[in-house]
Amino acid sequence: MTPTNALPDAAAPTTDVGARRRLGMLALATVGFAVNFWAWSLLSPLGPLLKDMLTLSAFEQALVVAVPVIVGSLGRIPVGALTDRFGGRVMFCAMSALTVLPVLFIGLGGYRSLTGLLVGGFFLGIGGAVFAVGIPFVSAWFPPSRRGLALGVYGAGMGGTAVGALTTVHLVEGWGMATPFLLTAGMLALFALLAALFLRDAPGRSIPREPFLRWLSGTLRLTVTWQASVLYAVLFGGYVAFSVYLPAYLGTAYDLPQADASGRMAGFVVLAVVMRPIGGWLSDAFGPVRVLVAALLVVAAGAVAQSFTPPLMPLGTIAFLGMAAALGTGSGAVFALVALLAPANRVGSVTGVVGAAGGLGGFVPPLLMGGLYGAFGSYALGLAALAVVALGLLLLTITAVRRAVQARQR
């Protein structure tokens, strides 16, 4: 006889699994995500140094930095679908081991030419695609009432990019160009070994039998795929955009020196990363729709306030920190929404598409802000556009997304 309190989809197998084992799987997956993101972000902090070393043009420097980001973002689509088929354990091991190769290639000589950097950077994108492995892996281990917090904790592994930003240049200056690459390759190899030994997929995982392309096509037809993609493109894309463009903005709008502007950008990033698991926890407690509504309201309000370029202390700082907290919280809520609405055996595929949208969403705002400033000598229109987009997403959330969640809960 079936128990009346049985959980739907993939949640049922998790009810008889010890909390300690679930937390162990979550911790190991989060570490793997952070290490892969560390590797993925190695070239960005070295951009100015590589430009001087190889006499690169501004476009070539931007291309070196952009290639792994683009590949890592788009690569999440097939990686998510492959995770549905082969499971998180296999994919974590395989992708971490494969990422070792471009890291070593660049560190042991690929950095000496533009061609080497572009080839190495292309395959370095594998590390950025690993995001799509952990979401379905972690989701399957936790019951619905705790998935938001668990996925938020996993998402905080994006802080691996901060590790790269803070350590890479110092390691190169102190120990030579190869040092950060050798260190990261060693960490990746160690994690791949630990994953093979200790990482396990949740019991009862459903394995798709459809051909890969048909499976991916079915995922693209799901409403939740597009709703979550649009939300994540703005919320996580906004975080990415500010983390890239904020130093330039603060230097231009407030005449801050580079060190001060970079320090404030680091504070923005840390707050957004910390708020991501809190966004997941709040989604468990109050539902992802309410959390998304609150986050989008704060983003819109902060963007409107900052469009007037108020004094940096305190109004400008409050506006930016408020947006950082909201963007991190909203990003956590998006994947609580995915875990709630996506079919259990398609969470990986949906995650891949949504993750790609978020990664690519970070490219548009800096280009838009720079173009508008060049045309009008002001950032006001760009920030006003962010406010309008946030309010548009707020309308989407309280209508179509809310109806989808209510239908799922009936």
Is residue 35 domain-shared with residue 171, that is, in the same domain?
yes
Q: How many CB atoms lie within 10 A of CB 372?
A: 18
- pTM listed for this prediction: 0.82
Does the residue 351 lie in any domain?
no
pLDDT band of residue 206 (cuts 50, 70, 90) is confident
Q: CA–CA distance from 67 to each of 113, 118, 275, 312 (Å)?
A: 15, 7, 28, 34
Mean pLDDT, rounded, for 346-359 = 88
Does the residue 1 lie in any domain?
no
Is residue 97 domain-shared with residue 240, that is, in the same domain?
no
Q: CA–CA distance from 308 to each of 99, 317, 327 (Å)?
A: 44, 13, 20
d(CA 319, CA 84): 40
Residue 1 confidence (pLDDT) above 80: no
Domain limit, last residue, from 180, 214, 248? 214
58: Cβ contacts below 8 Å, ≥ 6 apart: 51
Q: What is the CATH number of the domain that holds 155?
A: 1.20.1250.20
DSSP string across 107-169: HTTGGGSHHHHHHHHHHHHHHHHTHHHHHHHHHHHS-HHHHHHHHHHHHGGGGHHHHHHHHHH
Is residue 194 domain-shared with residue 123, that is, in the same domain?
yes
Does the residue 357 lie in any domain?
no
d(CA 56, CA 173): 20
Higher pLDDT, 194 or 219: 194
- Percent of the chain at pLDDT above 90? 47
Mean pLDDT, rounded, for 346-354 = 88
Residue 73 confidence (pLDDT) above 90: no
Residue 258 has a pLDDT of 67
Domain containing 130: what range? Answer: 11-214
Does the residue 358 lie in any domain?
no
Structure tokens at 365: 């705002």
Is residue 145 domain-shared with residue 184, that is, in the same domain?
yes
Domain limit, last residue, from 186, 214, 242? 214
- Residue with the two structure tokens 């998935």: 147
pLDDT band of residue 143 (cuts 50, 70, 90) is confident
Cis bond before residue 102 (omega within 30° of 0): no
Is residue 241 domain-shared with residue 198, that is, in the same domain?
no
Residue 323 confidence (pLDDT) above 70: yes
190: Cβ contacts below 8 Å, ≥ 6 apart: none
DSSP string across 62-101: HHHHHHHHHHHHHTHHHHHHHHHHH-HHHHHHHHHHHHHH
Residue 117 has a pLDDT of 93
d(CA 42, CA 267): 20
Is residue 284 domain-shared with residue 402, that is, in the same domain?
yes
d(CA 338, CA 228): 7
The pLDDT tens digits of the residues spanning 152-192 come to 899 888 888 778 877 888 898 889 899 999 999 999 999 99
Residue 9 has a pLDDT of 42
Is residue 116 domain-shared with residue 265, that is, in the same domain?
no
Is residue 227 domain-shared with residue 270, that is, in the same domain?
yes
Domain limit, last residue, from 214, 244, 263? 214
Lowest mean pLDDT among 182-196, 247-261, 337-351, 395-409: 247-261
Higher pLDDT, 310 or 51: 310
Residue 91 confidence (pLDDT) above 60: yes
The pLDDT tens digits of the residues spanning 280-295 come to 999 999 999 999 999 9
d(CA 92, CA 385): 38
The pLDDT tens digits of the residues spanning 224-279 come to 999 999 999 999 888 888 877 787 788 888 888 867 877 787 788 889 989 999 99
Q: What is the domain count for the chain?
A: 2
The pLDDT tens digits of the residues spanning 10-42 come to 444 444 447 889 999 999 999 999 999 999 988
Rg (CA), the chain: 21
Does the residue 276 lie in any domain?
yes
Does the residue 90 lie in any domain?
yes
Is residue 144 domain-shared with residue 229, that is, in the same domain?
no
Is residue 25 domain-shared with residue 101, that is, in the same domain?
yes
> Quick check: 40 and 72 in contact, CB under 8 A?
yes
